[in-house]
Structure 1
C-alpha cells in the first residue's frame, strides 16, 4: 500500500489554493489543510505535522518567510516549498536561507510542481 504524502497549502488567495489543491489531488497527494496567512500556517503545522508545506511569501498577519522560520524552530526537519508571483532574487535567497527546500514561481507550472514536490519528499 502506498502512503499518500500529506500536504498543507498556505496562500492568502483562495483561487491559488484551489488551483494548487486541484493539481496535488490529481497527482494523488492528500491535502490535509489550507491556510491563508503565515500565522495560520504555524498553528496548522504544529497541529497536523504535514509531510510538506507549500507557502506563499506575501500574506497578511505574518509573511511566509517568517512563518517558515517559526515552523523550522518547531520542527527542524520541516519540508517547505515557498511560492511567489514575484520571482525576486532577494526573496528566493531569503527563503532558502530560512530553510525552504525549493521555490515555485506563480503562475504554477504543473510539471515544475511535480518535480519540486517529488524531489523534496524524497530528500532527507
Structure 2
C-alpha cells in the first residue's frame, strides 16, 4: 500500500528530486504544487496522507499554507523542507503543527526516515 503524498515546492527540480526519492521507495505521489495557495487547494482536492512543504515560496509561504491546511484538517501530516540556516522558521513550522523537517540539499535516507516516522 503506497502512502499518498503531495509535494509542495516552488522549484520544479526540487519536486522532481523528492518525487524520485519517494516513488523509488514505494510511496505514491498524488500531486504537486508550486506555491502555498496551490498546496491548500490540492490538499482539499486530493486529501493526501502526507505533504512535503517547502518553507520559502511565492504567493503564500509554507508556514502560512501549513496553518491553513491544519485549520481544515487538524490531523494533517506535514513535513517541512528548508534550506540550511532557517532554524527560526523550522521552529515556527513545528509550533504551527509540522511533524518533522528535512533540510536541503536532500539526502534520500533522511527524507524517507522523516516520512516513515511521520506516517507511523
Q: Is the 8 A contact 1:10 1:17 kept in 2?
A: yes
TM-score of the two chains, using structure 2 as the length reference: 0.98
Unaligned runs of 5+ in 2: none
What is the CA distance between 1:85 and its match in structure 2? Answer: 1.0
Aligned residue among 8, 11, 27 for 1:10: 8
Aligned residue among 45, 51, 54 for 2:52: 54
Q: Distance in 2 between matches of 1:4 and 1:69?
A: 26
Q: Distance in 2 between matches of 1:91 and 1:107?
A: 17
* Deviation readout 1:80-103 (Å, 9 max, x if unpaired): 000011332211110101100001
Q: Distance in 2 between matches of 1:63 and 1:88?
A: 13
Q: Distance in 2 between matches of 1:22 and 1:89?
A: 26
Unaligned runs of 5+ in 1: none
Aligned residue among 85, 96, 99 for 1:98: 96
**Pairs aligned (count):** 120
Give the aligned partner of residue 32 of structure 2: 34
Give the aligned partner of residue 21 of structure 1: 19
Q: Distance in 2 between matches of 1:117 and 1:87?
A: 22
Q: Is the 8 A contact 1:9 1:34 kept in 2?
A: yes
Task: Give the superposed CA RMSD.
Answer: 0.7
Runs of 4+ in 1 over 2 A off after TM superposition: none
What is the CA distance between 1:62 and its match in structure 2? Answer: 0.2
Any idea what SS the aligned residue of 2:74 has?
A: coil
TM-score of the two chains, using structure 1 as the length reference: 0.95
Q: Is the 8 A contact 1:101 1:120 kept in 2?
A: yes
Q: Distance in 2 between matches of 1:121 and 1:73?
A: 19
